[in-house]
Amino acid sequence: MRRFRPTVVQIDLDAVRRNVGLLKPADAELMAVVKGDGYGHGEVPVARAALQAGATWLGVALVEEGLRLRAAGIDAPVLVLSEFPPGSEGEALAAGLTPSLYTDEGLAGLVAAGATRVHVKVDTGMHRVGLYPPEAAVGFVRRVLAAGLELEGLWTHFAKSEEDEGTTLGQLKLLREIADALAAEGIRPRLLHAANSAAVMLHAEAHLDLVRAGIAIYGIAPDPVLAGMLDLQPAMAWRSAVTMVKRLPAGEGISYGHRHRLERDANVATVPVGYADGYPRALSSKADVLIGGRRRRVSGAVTMDQILVDCGDDEVAPGDEVVLLGRQGDQAITADELAAHAGTITYEIVTSVGPRVPREYLGG
């Protein structure tokens, strides 16, 4: 579709490739997690870039996401990180998607659909999905093998890997104990995996056979405390342009509710982006944007389609570039910064950028 509005997200695929190269351990495979439309970056272009950089697996949350990768011609191994929903097994297996498995109901559905291999997920403490209690894993795997399926992988997911070493290593110990108990019966899955982005960065002992890198491949630390630990390069930049400028007097209320009033005469710029695009309303009168290489405060309520920006006495004109997320000159607006203002996490900032904001890809 032809684009008229200047608001756009730019995705630097070279940054994705570089980040994958930094994250991939020398002695383990890397799964690039591209669920949530590649964390808002675009699942197909990111998947291709990650595979070019050395990823050997892709991870998705939904069967539908895996099917879109296949429709785009991507034939790399794809693990669906939750069990296939009932009724989806046939189509998912026909597309070559690899199932996660953790219930007897899921096992029955896969057997009926003709599955050949699975990754069994064990709940070692996240308590979202996975086989629980962990002590039931050996008996469950026996049933998987008795049904004629290959145990290709055994895995778990860390709950606090960015902040709690004790909990993380305790979960890893549980997974290793299960693997050891299986090995005692001659059962050795090819892939043992546990590490998410934070564990890739902090816990080499958790790298095992495969790491699952998500947010970090997009150049964002999984927690602000880890920022700068690796030289990750953010892949997303969100840009727009000024569409109108008005000189308004001190005391004038602006935007809905007039909850913000100007403290002095100011040039106020209108920028065509709003919460319908995923720019959080919680950023009202808190966040900065970049115009002319300088920080300018979003003033008044973020509306559905537009924001207002207080530019003081600086000369600003329609057509001037506005950076909502990313770098302009020597200044940068980060996802961590926006998340802090909005009272959320970086994951939500980048995954919330809506579909009406077109993506442009650099380094393709």
180 and 310 together in one domain: no
Active site residue 246: no
Are both 194 and 327 inside the same structural domain? no
256 is catalytic: yes
3-class SS of residue 188: coil
Q: Check residue 173 and give its pLDDT.
A: 98
Q: Above 90 in pLDDT, residue 1? A: no
Cβ-contact 20, 32 below 8 angstroms:
yes
Q: pLDDT at residue 266 above 80?
A: yes
Around Cβ 184, how many Cβ atoms within 10 Å?
A: 9
Which of 158, 186, 218 is the endpoint of a domain?
218
pLDDT for residue 31: 99
Summarize the confidence of residues 142-148 as an average pLDDT: 98
- pLDDT of residue 174 exceeding 90, the answer is yes
**214 and 283 share a domain?**
no
* Strand (E) or helix (H) holding 348: helix 346-351
Same domain, 144 and 199: yes
Percent of the chain having pLDDT more than 70? Answer: 100
Give how far Cα 184 sits from Cα of 154, 196, 263, 328, Å.
15, 27, 73, 58
Confidence of residue 364 (pLDDT cuts 50, 70, 90): confident
Show the tokens assigned to 360.
Answer: 């442009």
The amino acid present at 220, given as its one-letter code, is I
Residue 292 domain boundaries: 236-362
Indicate whether 256 and 126 sit together in one domain: no
Q: Please pick, among 24, 35, 121, 279, the residue that the annotation labels catalytic.
A: 35
Q: Check which CATH number belongs to the domain holding 33 and give it.
A: 3.20.20.10
For 191-241, what is each residue's pLDDT tens digit?
999 999 999 999 999 999 999 999 999 999 999 999 999 999 999 999 999
Alpha helices in 40-152 (DSSP H): 43-52, 63-71, 89-94, 104-113, 137-146
Per-residue DSSP letters for 174-237?
HHHHHHHHHHTTT---SEEE---HHHHHH-GGG-TTEEEE-GGGGT--SSGGGTTSS-----EE
Residue 91, beta-bridge partner list: none
In a shared domain, residues 171 and 242: no
Which one of the listed residues 132, 160, 256, 286 is annotated catalytic? 256
